[in-house]
Amino acid sequence: MRRSWVEQMMGMPISVLARGDAADSEAADTAVQELYAELEGIDRLFSPYKPDSMVSLLMRGEVGWDQAGFDVQEVCERCAAAREMTGGLFDADLPDGGWDPSGLVKGWAVERAGRRLRAVAEVDWCLNAGGDVLVISPSAEAFTIGIQDPRDPGRVVASLQRSWGAVATSGTAARGAHLYDPRTGDPVQGRWLSVSVSGPSLEYADIFATAAFVAGDDWPTVLLPGFEGLGILADGNMFSTAGWGVA
């Protein structure tokens, strides 16, 4: 049995697919609704596009960091750790002096909220947050995850099988040239149109995908052990690390 849900939040569609005998159960539906409620609350706290979010208040100087609360403090620490881990390729500090943790918050939030799905026994889950995917499969049966063609968003150019873990993609397909190189402050422009990263954590897969895209030709060196990548060039050619297709 399969059941699916989808909601538009955090500026993107977030879909949940449940698979298994209990997929249609009240417990499964409750877990999904709680997940959406948690993500909505996180968006209210962190969205730089909401004038009353804590991030917006902090950037306008209307509140101090001592008033930011535990979740914001935690994300700030995680952003600093991500900057250190990627050698500055991932940085929530903006060239204009602002702070935008959005590049970390999505993966962190989805992975954290995913614990609600894990609590439902005998259900496999595939959670897709704007193209970044978290898979939880107690049955060990894999889901097929498609990789979007950055030149044609309606086309899938690659796929991989996963029964656990996450896949995140960074590039120009969804939002154009929106990423900047923290080392120079300039927009990222190169011959790679997207980099997808798979691994055990959606938070870290998302961080590494962003950092790898910024790194350009050196992107495979950004990935830590346990994470694999697939890069797509502007001419359509693809390059993957050795363990990319290994389940």
Sorted by where each begins, the domain ranges of the chain are: 2-240
Q: What is the CATH number of domain 2-240?
A: 3.10.520.10
* Per-residue pLDDT at 95: 80
For residue 14, what pLDDT is reported? Answer: 97
- 208: tokens are 């590494």
CA dihedral 185, 104, 160, 22 (to 10 degrees): -160
Whole-number Å distance between alpha carbons of 189 and 179: 9
Angle (CA) 135-139-141 rounded to 5° is 65
Closest CA to 53 of 40, 43, 66: 43
**Per-residue pLDDT for 247 more than 80?**
no
Residues 16-59 have pLDDT tens digits of 999 999 999 999 999 999 999 999 999 999 999 999 999 999 99
166: closest CA among 195, 133, 129? 133
How would residue 12 be classed by pLDDT, with cut points 50, 70 and 90? very high
Paired residues of 190 in beta bridges:
none
More confident residue, 203 or 173: 203
The CA-based angle 211-81-128, given to 5 degrees, is 55
| Average pLDDT of span 121-140 | 96
pTM for this entry: 0.93
Q: Report the mean per-residue pLDDT for the chain.
A: 93
